[in-house]
Amino acid sequence: MDDARNLIRYLGKGSFTPELIASAEGSWVTTESGRRLLDFTSGQMSAILGHSHPDVVATVRDQVGRLDHLFSGMLSRPVVELAERLAASLPDPLEKVLLLTTGAESNEAALRLAKLVTGGHEVVAFSGSWHGMTGAAAAATYSAGRKGYGPAAPGNFAIPTPHSYRPDVVTADGELDWARQLDLAFAMVDAQSTGNLAACIVEPILSSGGIIEPPPGYLAALQRKCRERGMLLILDEAQTGLCRTGTWYAFERDGVVPDIITLSKTLGAGLPLAAVVTTAEIEAAAHERGFLFLTTHVSDPLVAAVGTTVLDVLERDSLDARAAELGARLKGGLHTLAEQHEVIGDVRGRGLLVGLELVVDRATKQGSDVLGAEVTRRCYELGLHMNVVQLPGMAGVFRIAPPLTATDAEVDEGLAILDQALRDAVKAVL
């Protein structure tokens, strides 16, 4: 795209979409040429209330005219109110809140907290993880971006992602034996550790890793592994938090309470807002040791006001229940497509965070980056933006995340476009 000639290309081997976007509203984005695209990515997996939600627009217009940004040591009413609301939405003992801007930044702060409080520096994460592109977050990210940038910080260990569709450690029946996999994983961690384990950071549902959901019981077992080693468990709910999966927080399904939770994308509903929430005990220990995380936009009042509005809308419109209901409709439609298209190997996910994996052979589960790219291209031509993980070997795995405010008709329209794109793509490349 010639319009991007002055921009640094930051999408790895991927490319920008071929048209400039002029506006967005609800579940739709409109190009400069006037073409409308159904947005099944919620922007960058963030706009859970759709684009330009009227309540968010009203809050921004009001707040920016009164109080937008302050010295980082100053507090304001919007910051105090959002901290109270977030604490009230989470189970005890999670009650201490730090408001930041991005997911990477919140994960940096969480890891910094864990290292200071435990006295360790070693961090464990999934092999399919994505936690951000800054220092410690990037060092704990294994799905992409590790090569070519020099050494990561020492003491970062990857453990296998518990992938039920593509199991590595299996039972006699060929199913994922996640308990044995986890035992083996931590045996390897223990063998490599210098005795300075600080934290394990994981997504309750891995997104960039391919919408992979650890089986029921896994997170509780993982937390026990952490407790045994004096590690803190950090759950990165950047994409799963705040009703996206049909409950307010994805970890609720598993009956665990993390030591630290990080929030970002969904909290600002498209605006740059993130949060770290931890216990009073951890916060007190960190403060005693002089915890420092001073950034330009920590505790900014403008986006804090937006965060409270987001929580208001989620509660008022019961969007947790709506996500569960609409997610069931979406998955049901995808399962119907799977009956018609042999190239659909797996449908997975929870609520309105759904994964679709394409294969050229269901028996061998052989994937196809070429097919995935062609389906993505054809969907775009037909008016549907489908976010696909454009990583080598994973371009056939789609992340589908419509806004929680999407209508039944919009979900059905997206499914119909995907149906046509699959038919056209199979003819074109297979």
- Catalytic positions are 130, 203, 236, 239, 265, 399
The letter for the amino acid at 126 is: F
- What does residue 30 show for φ and ψ, rounded to 5 degrees? -120, 130
**Torsion 264-250-204-419 (CA) sign:** negative
Cβ within 8 Å of residue 263, ≥6 positions away: 86, 106, 237, 238, 241, 242, 274, 275, 277
Give the sheet arrangement for strand 156-159, strand by strand: 94-100, 274-279, 260-263, 232-236, 197-202, 122-126, 156-159
Would you state the structure tokens that stand for residue 389, as one six-digit string? 């993980």
- What does residue 394 show for φ and ψ, rounded to 5 degrees? -130, 10
CB atoms within 10 A of CB 215: 15
Nearest alpha carbon to residue 428 among 367, 370, 384, 363 = 370
CB 326 within 8 A of CB 414: no
The three state secondary structure string of 55-91 is: HHHHHHHHHHCCCCCCCCCCCCHHHHHHHHHHHHHCC
Distances (CA, A) of 51 to 24, 100, 198, 231, 366: 6, 22, 39, 39, 36
Distances (CA, A) of 155 to 7, 158, 193, 206, 235: 35, 10, 7, 22, 19
Would you state the structure tokens that stand for residue 277, as one six-digit string? 């929430």
Would you state the structure tokens that stand for residue 412, as one six-digit string? 């059905």
Distance CA 17, CA 168 (A): 36
Nearest alpha carbon to residue 298 among 73, 36, 12 = 73
Name 176's bridge partners: 170
